[in-house]
Amino acid sequence: MKNLVVLTGAGMSAESGISTFRDAGGLWDQYPVEQVATPEGYAANPKLVINFYNERRKQLLEVKPNRGHELLAELEKYFHVTVITQNVDNLHERAGSTEVIHLHGELTKVTSSFQPNNPRFIKELKPEEYEVRMGDKAPDGSQFRPFIVWFGEAVPMIETAIDYVDKADIFVIIGTSLNVYPAAGLLNYVHSGVPVYLIDPKEVRIASGRAVHVIQKGASEGMEELKKMLLEIRD
């Protein structure tokens, strides 16, 4: 089976009812990014940041995967699919995708404020634990913080992601403005000759000059179209 590597962003989950970041009325219009998505913001007002992610977690219980997530999961019948997502929701997993790399962390997990990337301190929350409180502590005595990669922090999963992109036979980009690095730079690791598809209702500026098959549609409709195209080149 061919290796199909898919990079997804907030637009993948838009049709499930989760706001994107940079579209008009997106999350970064409603909440200043430096307050809720930087280590400095967290140091200045941990309670505000913890509450912001509590709200995001609560929303997870209200949304469900859309047809786009489901179609992507169904492609596992025909391809070895690796999803590299910038999303912190769990909708790919809930749709049935079995290989999901989260570049920017996961809402369903918390970790130590001192050593956020130490696997010993990363804890998966049960839905009844989604409301994290000030005073909830990691085993090292620090406040439990969201397991989210904030701006200015290292992206530990990028190396794993690059390894998969390097082996991709087909590369797909869905619902990301490609504004945030290092995720946006993954395209540079796709070998020449590997077909690249992009699904987004808006025009996305691609820094490298390589040819991209653009499907200018939303994730669900775009995935229907992509599935037909991919089945023609499956072997």
Q: Is 20 labeled as ligand-binding?
A: yes
SS3 of residue 64 by DSSP = coil
The least CB distance from residue 193 to ligand OAD, in Å, is 26
Q: Which residue is nearest to ligand OAD (CB)?
A: 11
Q: What is the spatial distance between Cα 229 and Cα 188, in angstroms, rounded to a whole number? A: 23
Q: Is 177 labeled as ligand-binding?
A: yes
The least CB distance from residue 205 to ligand OAD, in Å, is 10
Q: What is the spatial distance between Cα 221 and Cα 201, in angstroms, rounded to a whole number? A: 10
Partners of 215 in the β-ladder: 199
Q: Which residues, 6+ apart, have CB-to-CB distance to 83 below 8 Å?
A: 6, 8, 72, 92, 97, 99, 100, 101
Q: Is 175 labeled as ligand-binding?
A: yes
The least CB distance from residue 139 to ligand OAD, in Å, is 25
The least CB distance from residue 23 to ligand OAD, in Å, is 6
162 or 169, CB closer to ligand OAD?
Answer: 162
| Interface contacts to ligand OAD, rule CB under 6 A | 9-11, 14-15, 20-23, 26, 37, 86, 104, 149-150, 175-177, 179-180, 199-202, 204, 218-219
Residue 182, preceding bond cis, omega within 30 degrees? Answer: yes
Catalytic residue among 69, 104, 191, 213: 104
Q: Is 209 labeled as ligand-binding?
A: no
**Catalytic-residue membership of 104:** yes
Q: What is the spatial distance between Cα 185 and Cα 206, in angstroms, rounded to a whole number? A: 10
SS3 of residue 42 by DSSP = helix
Please give the annotated binding residues for substrate, written as ranges. Answer: 53, 56
**Residues with a known catalytic role:** 104
The binding site for NAD(+) consists of: 9-28, 86-89, 175-177, 219
